[in-house]
Structure formats: structure tokens, C-alpha cells
Amino acid sequence: MAHSANDQRIDYVEFVVADLDRSSAFYAAAFGWTMTDYGPTYRAFTDGRLEGGFTTEGEKRPGGPLVILYADDLVATQARIEAAGGRIVRPVFDFPGGRRFHFADPDGYELAVWSKG
């Protein structure tokens, strides 16, 4: 199977926020990020190189945003994570645009992996 250029790389950063409008206004004003609205609980951003999103769903995570990696093969990536000692903390779920799961690394940091398929 051929791998895409983004396979196994950080692809997206997601912030859980209290107020989409406030967070969007801050990052647009401070850094010039542009926004794409996906409904009342989600807004994507781009800084011209890296993409991410703001969501009001979930708990704010002290210490930083959710780092999201891309994988061509979600099942194989999950198997490698578990074999390496990672723990699945949110099983695979569908969202507009693809599927993803969350895992904790051996130190307890939560990350996610998504795929278009």
C-alpha cells in the first residue's frame, strides 16, 4: 500500500474552548488565522500552513490542545499504538470528513489519529 505524504505526521491541532466566537476573534486578531464555521460547536482554522479547530464539545485540557495525527490506515495505526504501549481512551468514531480515535501515550498525554476512510 502506498503511503500519502501526511501518513504518520501531525496533521491537525484541536482546542476545546468555552466560546467559539471569542477564541476565533482572538486568534484572527493576534495571528491572522482564517476560520471556517461547521456549526454551533465547531470552527476550523488555518494559519496558512497548519490547520486546526475550536470545539465546545469536551473538557478543556489544561496543558494544551489535542494534537491530531493523520493515518492512511486507522486500524493498523491503532494496532501499532497499542503494541507500543498506548491505551485507547476514545474508540473509533465517525465525524464529518472521516473517522478518528483518541489514545493516551505511556505518560498519559492524550492524542488522536484520524483518517478520511
Task: Supply the pLDDT for residue 62.
Answer: 66
- In a shared domain, residues 55 and 100: no
In a domain, 5, yes or no: no
Boundary-marking domain end, from 35, 63, 91: 63
Three-state DSSP class for residue 80: helix
Pick the more confident residue, 23 or 62: 23
- What residues make up the domain containing 116? 71-117
**98 located within any domain:** yes
Q: What is the pLDDT of residues 51-75, one digit of tens each?
A: 999 999 988 776 678 999 899 999 9
Q: Is residue 1 part of a domain?
A: no
pTM: 0.73
pLDDT digits (tens, 9 = 90+) for 101-117: 999 988 788 989 999 97
Q: Are residues 24 and 44 in the same domain?
A: yes
Nearest to 66 by CA among 25, 34, 113, 6: 113
pLDDT tier at 78, thresholds 50, 70, 90: very high
CA dihedral 51, 68, 39, 25 (to 10 degrees): -50
Cell of 23: 477564541
Asked whether residue 114 is assigned to any structural domain, the reply reads yes
Do 96 and 79 lie in one domain? The reply is: yes
- What CATH number does residue 104 fall under? 3.10.180.10
Domain count, the chain: 2
CA pair distance 114, 71, nearest whole angstrom? 6
pLDDT averaged over the chain?
90
